[in-house]
Chain A
Amino acid sequence: MPHDLARAALSGLLHRTNVPKEVVDYIIFGTVIQEVKTSNVAREAALGAGFSDKTPAHTVTMACISANQAMTTGVGLIASGQSDVIVAGGVELMSDVPIRHSRKMRKMMLDLNKAKTLGQRLSLISKFRLNFLTPELPAVAEFSTSETMGHSADRLAASFAVSRLEQDEYALRSHRLAKKAQDEGLLSDVVPFKVPGKETVTKDNGIRPSSLEQMAKLKPAFVKPYGTVTAANSSFLTDGASAMLIMAEDKALAMGYKPKAYLRDFVYVSQDPKDQLLLGPTYATPKVLEKAGLTLKDIDAFEFHEAFSGQILANFKAMDSDWFAQNYMGRKTKVGAPPLEKFNNWGGSLSLGHPFGATGCRLVMAAANRLRKEGGQFGLVAACAAGGQGHAMIVEAYPK
C-alpha cells in the first residue's frame, strides 16, 4: 500500500539526516490517486515510521506537482512562523490503483445496508444485473475534457510541429543520461526498498537506453495510426515515494546542519486544460525568473518534469516563440528555450519514471545535487500537471 512506500521514504530520510524525530514540527505529503483507506497518507506513514504522534501531518494533491505543493506548503509554514522543521514528500502506488464498483452496484450495496427486513433485501437483490459488476477504473484523463493526457500530448506536439524523430531522439537522450548518471553513482537520492515477499529494489529500474531504430518501430500509443507519441517517448507510470527535510536556515545552522540548497522562489500557474494542458513550464518559467530577479542565463541546472518527449520539446518551442509569448502569455518577448547542455543532465521522468505524487521532490533534489556536483548557483525546476496547471521553483546552492 502507498503508506508503506511513504514510510520507507521517511525512514530513509531519518536515516540519512539523523534528524531527531521530535524536532519535526509538521509532515506534508503529496499524492494523486488516493487509496481510500489511507486518505491522509502522510499521517499513516508518519505514524508507521515512528514519528511522534504529536506531529501533525496532512496530505495535498495537485496532480503531477503534488510533491511540489507539499514542499511549498512547508515553505509557507516556515515563512509564516508556524513551524521550523518540515518534512515534505510524495508518494504514488501505480501498481495497485483503487478500482471501484460501478455506481449502480455501490448504490445497491449501500441500500442493502439500510434495508431492514429480509423482504426488502430480497427485493433489492432481485434488481441486480450482471452489468453492475463492471468496474470503474481510474483513468489518466482530464475530468473537464475527457481527453487522456497522452492524446493531449500528441496534439500538443503536432501544434508545435514536433516530429516523431525529434521526440525519439530526446527520449533516447534521457535514457542515456540516466544510465550514465546511474552508472557513475550520481543518483544518490535513492534508498533501497524491500518488497515484501520479493527481492529488494535498489535502483531505478526503468532506464532502458535503446536505439532510434528500435524506437521507430513502435506504434503510436494514443493518436492512431499516425500520431507521434509512443510508449518509448512517454514517461512511464511507476511506484515511488520521496521525502525531504526543509528547515529555516538559522534553525538548521543552530542544529549543526550544513544545508544543501535554498528553496529560493516559486510560482504556480494554470491555463487552458484542453489545448495547453502540458504547457505549464512555459508559463511558469518566465514568471519565476522575474520574481527572483534572474534571467535564463543565470540558471546553471534545469530540471524539468518530462511527461512526454513531445511535451518537453513543445515547451521548448513555445518558450522560444515571440509569437506565442505575445499572443497567449501576454508578454512582450519570449523567455527563450533552456540550453540543452544544462537540461536534465541526469535523466528525467522519461527514463527514471514518474510516480505522480512523488516526482516533485526528485526534481528539486536532482537540481540541488547537480549544482553541488557540477558547480553553479541557481537551478530551475519546472513541471506541468493535469488540470492545465504548472509550477516552477528556483533552487540555489548553499555556499560551500
Chain B
Amino acid sequence: MVASRAIGCLRRFTNASRTLHCSGYISRNFTSSSALLARTHINYGIKEDVAVIRINSPNSKVNTLNKELQSEFMEVMNEIWASDQVRSAVLISSKPGCFIAGADINMIAACKTPQEVTRLSQEGQKMFEKLEKSNKPVVAAISGSCLGGGLELAISCQYRIATKDKKTVLGVPEVLLGILPGAGGTQRLPQMVGIPAAFDMMLTGRNIRADRAKKMGLVDQLVEPLGPGIKPPEERTIEYLEEIAVTFAKGLADKKISLKRSKGLMERLTSYAMGIPFVRQQVYKKVEEQVRKQTKGLYPAPLKIIDVVKTGLEEGKEAGYLSESQKFGELAMTRESKALIGLYHGQVLCKKNKFGMPQKEVKHLAVLGAGLMGAGIAQVSVDKGLQTILKDATLTGLGRGQQQVFKGLNDKVKKKTLTSFERDFIFNNLTGQLDYQGFEKADMVIEAVFEDINLKHKVLKEVEAVIPAHCVFASNTSALPINEIASVSKRPEKVIGMHYFSPVDKMQLLEIITTEKTSKDTTASAVAVGLKQGKVIIVVKDGPGFYTTRCLAPMMSEVIRILQEGVGPKKLDSLTTGFGFPVGAATLVDEVGVDVAKHVAEDLGKAFGERFAGGSLELLKQMVAKGFLGRKSGKGFYVYKEGVKSKDLNSEMDSVLAGLQVSPKPEVSSDEDIQYRLVSRFVNEAAMCLQEEILATPAEGDIGAVFGLGFPPCLGGPFRFVDLYGAQKIVDRLKRYEAAYGKQFTPCQLLIDQASANKKFYQ
C-alpha cells in the first residue's frame, strides 16, 4: 500500500540481485602464458608486461569476496609485485554481468562475536591498503555489478574502467543490511567522490550506473558495450574491456596517463568548501539530523557510518580505519542487521519460482479494468515486453488508464532511464480497448475491476466465453475469497488470485492466492508473470483476507479502539512511525480509503468473529456516511489539498470521535503498550496464518508483511521479530492485553508452542 516510500530502500536489494545474470564464460589463451597456476577463484596471465588477473568463482553466477578468494588474490598480487616481468596489472572478472557482487554475507553471519567481525574487517583493510600503495599500477576493469566489498576493492586500485552497460552498477549497499562498508570504503569514498556524494552513497546504498559514476569520479573511463562481431556480444565486450584496460595499465606504468582527474567548477567549489573545518562540521550535523529524522533512531548503521567518516576525516586515516572496523563489528551483531539480512535472504527466496516452468509462457496478457490497479499492472507488464490488452468499460476510464501508463513511462524518460524512443516502443505493447477483441489469443487475463463479487462473477463468465482453453484467469482482489470468485467458473483449475499492492509500479510485493482447485501449472504461470513484472512473490492459500489483508485487519481494529480511547490521530501516527512503520496508522487508513477499510473490516469481522473485534465499526461507518473517505475524497482523519504536503487534522472528526469515545484502560495504555497492542495483534494473526497453513513458510510471511504492509524492516517481519524479541515475551504481552480486553489478544497455539519449547522460526 503506501508503505512504499520508507521501504523503498529495500527495493534496491532486488536491483542488486537482478544484475546477477551470468552465463558460463570461457577464459581465453594468453599471448605469453606464464604463472598459470591452477587456483580456484583467480588466475592470471601476462600480456607483454601487464598481468591480467581474472576473477571467476567456480559454480556460481557471481563472484563474492570470501576468504578463499581474498587469500588467492593476495597470493597473486605478491607474485606480481615480486615479478620483474610485470610492470602493471589489470583486474577483471570473467563473468559477464558481475565484477564482484560484494562480500560473502555468510562469512559475516558465521562470526559469533564483534571482535571476530572486526578482525575480518581489518584483514580486508590491510589487503586493500597494500593494493592502494602498489608501486605497479592496477586497473580495475569493471563489467557488471561492482558492489560492497567489490567496489571497495575497485577504489583501492589506481584506475577504474567500466562498461557503460545497464548491468554495470556500482554501490555500497551495506547500509541496507544494517552494516557499513568495512574494508576501507568509509575512508576512501569521501576522498574519491567528495564528502556529500560519499554520504549519499553510503547512507542510501543506492546503485550508481556507470555513466553517473564517471561523472562523480568513481570511475576514470567508460567502455561502450559491443554488438556481435567476431564473437558473441557479451564475450567480445569483456575481451575489449580487457584490451582497453591493458592499454591504460601500460600507459600508467609508462607515466603517459595522469591519475589526476580534471574536476568541474562545482566539484572544485565543493572540495574547497569541504576543506574548511567549519563547513565540514555543518555537513555532519545536517546529515545526522536528516538521518535521525528519517530513521527515528531505529537504524543504528547510518549514524555509525557518519561517525566513522567523521573520525577518518578529522582524526586521520588510522583512527578512521580503526573506527571502521570496530563499528563494523558492533553493527554486525545488532538485531537490526540480523533482521535486514534475514529480509535479504527472504527476498532472494521470493524471487524464485518454486513451482517450476509453466507449460506455456505467457506472452499475451489482458487486464480488465483501467483503474489505478489495472493500469499499474499494465505498466509493469508492457515494459517487460508482454503484449498487453487493457480493457475498460468506458472510453474515459480507458483513457485515464492509458495516460497513467504513459506517464509512468515518461517519468522514466525524464529520469533518463529510458529514451523517448524506448518509451514509445514499450507503450506500443499496450492496446487499449472496450471490447473483448483479441482475447482469443490471451495467455492470461488479470481482472482488476471493482471489488464486488457480482461484478467479478459477471466478467469471469464473459471472459471465459472468449479466451482459449489454456488461458489463466487471475483476480486482483484484496479480500474477496478466490474460491468464491471461482465458483461460477467452468474451469476452476485455471483460476487464481493475484493481489497487487498500490501503487503497482512502486510496491514490490505480489501475493498469489491459490485455491484447492488451482492447478500447479496455473500457479507456476502466475509466479512466472509476477517475476517478469519484477515482483517479490509470496504464494498463500485461499481464505478470508488471504495473508496480508488478514494480518492488517486486527491491527486496524486496534487502531480504531485506540482512537476511541482518546489518542489523537497525530499522536497515533507518531507512535506507529516511531516503532518503525513507514506510514502512521491513521494516515494508512486515509491512504487505503476508509470505505475499503470498512468493507474489509465487515467482511473479515463476519468470517473471524470476535478475534477481529476491538474498535467499533461505527467509526468507519460514520466517516463513510460523512464522505470522509480519506485522501481520495480530500478528507479523512486529515484534510488533503492538492499540491499541499503538510496536512491538518480534519476538525469535523472531533465530534465523530467524541461520540464514540470509550475510556482507556490505564494499565495497558502507555505509549509502549499502545505500540505493542498494535504490533502484537498483527504478529499473532500472522502466526495464526502459519498455523493454519495459509502461509507456507515464515520467510514468506516476513516478506509479505514488510513489502506489502510496511511492517518495520528493522524488525525483519513478524516472524523474525518473534525470534529476535523472544516468543515468550510476545506471549506474555499478549496475555497481559488479553486480561484487559479478552479474546482478541489470546495468543495462538503456535506462538505458545514456540515459547514453551524455546524454538525459533528461523534456525
- A132-184, CB < 8 A from B: 143-146, 151, 154-156, 158-161
Interface check B421, CB cutoff 8 A: yes
In the bound complex, CA of A50 to CA of B243 (Å): 59
> Chain B residues near A318 (CB, 8 Å)?
229
1/0 contact string of B189-227 vs chain A (CB within 8 Å): 000000000000000000000000000000001001011
Contact A276 B224 (CB under 8 A): no
1/0 contact string of A314-358 vs chain B (CB within 8 Å): 100110010110011000000000000000000000000000000
Given contacts A146-B419, A226-B247, contact A159 B224 (CB under 8 A): no
In the bound complex, CA of A321 to CA of B221 (Å): 31
Contact B228 A321 (CB under 8 A): no
Contact B221 A159 (CB under 8 A): no
Interface check B244, CB cutoff 8 A: yes
- A113-149, CB < 8 A from B: 143-146
In the bound complex, CA of A318 to CA of B247 (Å): 26
Interface check A223, CB cutoff 8 A: yes
Contact B421 A226 (CB under 8 A): no
Interface check A96, CB cutoff 8 A: no
1/0 contact string of A267-290 vs chain B (CB within 8 Å): 000001011100000000000000
Distance in Å: Cβ of A317 to nearest Cβ of chain B: 7
Q: How many residues of B contact A (CB 8 A)?
A: 17
Contact B230 A317 (CB under 8 A): yes
Distance in Å: Cβ of B3 to nearest Cβ of chain A: 37
Interface check B233, CB cutoff 8 A: yes
Given contacts A146-B419, A158-B240, A159-B236, contact A223 B224 (CB under 8 A): yes
In the bound complex, CA of A159 to CA of B243 (Å): 12
Contact A327 B228 (CB under 8 A): yes
Contact B229 A160 (CB under 8 A): yes
Given contacts A155-B224, A159-B236, A226-B244, contact A321 B230 (CB under 8 A): yes
Q: Which residue of A lies closest to B247 (CB)?
A: A226
Given contacts A145-B421, A146-B419, contact A314 B221 (CB under 8 A): no
Contact B230 A275 (CB under 8 A): no
In the bound complex, CA of A27 to CA of B231 (Å): 45
Contact B226 A155 (CB under 8 A): yes
Contact A275 B228 (CB under 8 A): yes
> Chain A residues near B221 (CB, 8 Å)?
225-226
Contact B226 A275 (CB under 8 A): yes
In the bound complex, CA of A146 to CA of B221 (Å): 21
Distance in Å: Cβ of A220 to nearest Cβ of chain B: 12
Contact A272 B421 (CB under 8 A): no
In the bound complex, CA of A160 to CA of B228 (Å): 8
Q: Which residue of B lies closest to A225 (CB)?
A: B221
Distance in Å: Cβ of B93 to nearest Cβ of chain A: 19
In the bound complex, CA of A182 to CA of B244 (Å): 39
In the bound complex, CA of A143 to CA of B420 (Å): 10
> Chain A residues near B230 (CB, 8 Å)?
159-161, 317, 321, 323-324
> Chain B residues near A328 (CB, 8 Å)?
228
Contact A161 B421 (CB under 8 A): no
Contact A143 B421 (CB under 8 A): yes
In the bound complex, CA of A239 to CA of B196 (Å): 52
Contact B244 A275 (CB under 8 A): no
Q: Which residue of B lies closest to A277 (CB)?
A: B227
1/0 contact string of B97-123 vs chain A (CB within 8 Å): 000000000000000000000000000
Distance in Å: Cβ of A111 to nearest Cβ of chain B: 24
A324's partner among B228, B248, B419 (CB-CB below 8 A) is: B228
Q: Which residue of B lies closest to A154 (CB)?
A: B224
Q: Which residue of B lies closest to A142 (CB)?
A: B421
In the bound complex, CA of A327 to CA of B229 (Å): 10
Contact A272 B244 (CB under 8 A): no
Contact A275 B247 (CB under 8 A): no
Q: Which residue of B lies closest to A321 (CB)?
A: B230
Given contacts A146-B419, A158-B240, contact A274 B229 (CB under 8 A): no
- B229-267, CB < 8 A from A: 229-233, 236, 240, 244, 247-248
- B513-547, CB < 8 A from A: none
Contact B226 A151 (CB under 8 A): no
Distance in Å: Cβ of A227 to nearest Cβ of chain B: 9
> Chain A residues near B247 (CB, 8 Å)?
226
> Chain B residues near A145 (CB, 8 Å)?
419, 421
1/0 contact string of A27-54 vs chain B (CB within 8 Å): 0000000000000000000000000000
> Chain B residues near A223 (CB, 8 Å)?
224
In the bound complex, CA of A230 to CA of B233 (Å): 24
Contact B233 A275 (CB under 8 A): yes
Q: Which residue of B lies closest to A161 (CB)?
A: B230
Residue of B228, B229, B232 with highest tally of chain A CB at under 10 A: B229
In the bound complex, CA of A160 to CA of B231 (Å): 8
> Chain B residues near A154 (CB, 8 Å)?
224
> Chain B residues near A314 (CB, 8 Å)?
229
In the bound complex, CA of A145 to CA of B419 (Å): 8
In the bound complex, CA of A276 to CA of B227 (Å): 7
Contact B227 A274 (CB under 8 A): yes
Contact A155 B227 (CB under 8 A): yes
In the bound complex, CA of A321 to CA of B236 (Å): 15
> Chain A residues near B244 (CB, 8 Å)?
226
Residue of B231, B233, B240, B419 with highest tally of chain A CB at under 10 A: B231
In the bound complex, CA of A160 to CA of B233 (Å): 10
> Chain A residues near B240 (CB, 8 Å)?
158-159
> Chain B residues near A155 (CB, 8 Å)?
224, 226-227
Contact A275 B421 (CB under 8 A): no
> Chain A residues near B224 (CB, 8 Å)?
151, 154-155, 223
Contact B421 A144 (CB under 8 A): yes
Contact B227 A156 (CB under 8 A): yes
In the bound complex, CA of A41 to CA of B242 (Å): 50
Contact B419 A156 (CB under 8 A): no
Residue of B226, B227, B231, B244 with highest tally of chain A CB at under 10 A: B227
Q: Which residue of B lies closest to A143 (CB)?
A: B421
Residue of B224, B240, B247 with highest tally of chain A CB at under 10 A: B224
> Chain B residues near A144 (CB, 8 Å)?
421
B226's partner among A159, A317, A324 (CB-CB below 8 A) is: A159
In the bound complex, CA of A197 to CA of B244 (Å): 50
Distance in Å: Cβ of A223 to nearest Cβ of chain B: 7
Distance in Å: Cβ of B5 to nearest Cβ of chain A: 32
In the bound complex, CA of A292 to CA of B227 (Å): 31
In the bound complex, CA of A362 to CA of B72 (Å): 62
In the bound complex, CA of A317 to CA of B231 (Å): 11
- A207-231, CB < 8 A from B: 223, 225-226
> Chain A residues near B228 (CB, 8 Å)?
159, 275-276, 324, 327-328
In the bound complex, CA of A158 to CA of B228 (Å): 10
> Chain A residues near B421 (CB, 8 Å)?
143-146
In the bound complex, CA of A314 to CA of B236 (Å): 14
Distance in Å: Cβ of B422 to nearest Cβ of chain A: 9
Distance in Å: Cβ of A178 to nearest Cβ of chain B: 28
In the bound complex, CA of A299 to CA of B62 (Å): 51
In the bound complex, CA of A151 to CA of B227 (Å): 12
In the bound complex, CA of A276 to CA of B240 (Å): 17
A275's partner among B227, B231, B248, B419 (CB-CB below 8 A) is: B227
1/0 contact string of A240-261 vs chain B (CB within 8 Å): 0000000000000000000000
Knowing that A275-B227, A317-B230 touch, tell me 7 more A-B residue pairs with CB under 8 angstroms. A159-B240, A161-B229, A161-B230, A274-B227, A321-B230, A323-B230, A327-B232
Interface positions of B (Cβ within 8 A of A): 221, 224, 226-233, 236, 240, 244, 247-248, 419, 421
30 A-B residue pairs with Cβ-Cβ distance under 8 Å, sorted by A, are: A144-B421, A145-B419, A146-B419, A146-B421, A154-B224, A156-B229, A158-B226, A158-B229, A158-B240, A159-B226, A159-B229, A159-B230, A159-B233, A159-B236, A159-B240, A160-B229, A161-B229, A161-B236, A225-B221, A226-B247, A275-B226, A275-B228, A314-B229, A317-B229, A321-B230, A323-B230, A323-B231, A324-B230, A327-B232, A328-B228
Ranked 10 nearest A-B pairs via Cβ? A275-B227, A159-B229, A160-B229, A159-B226, A144-B421, A158-B240, A155-B224, A159-B227, A155-B226, A158-B226
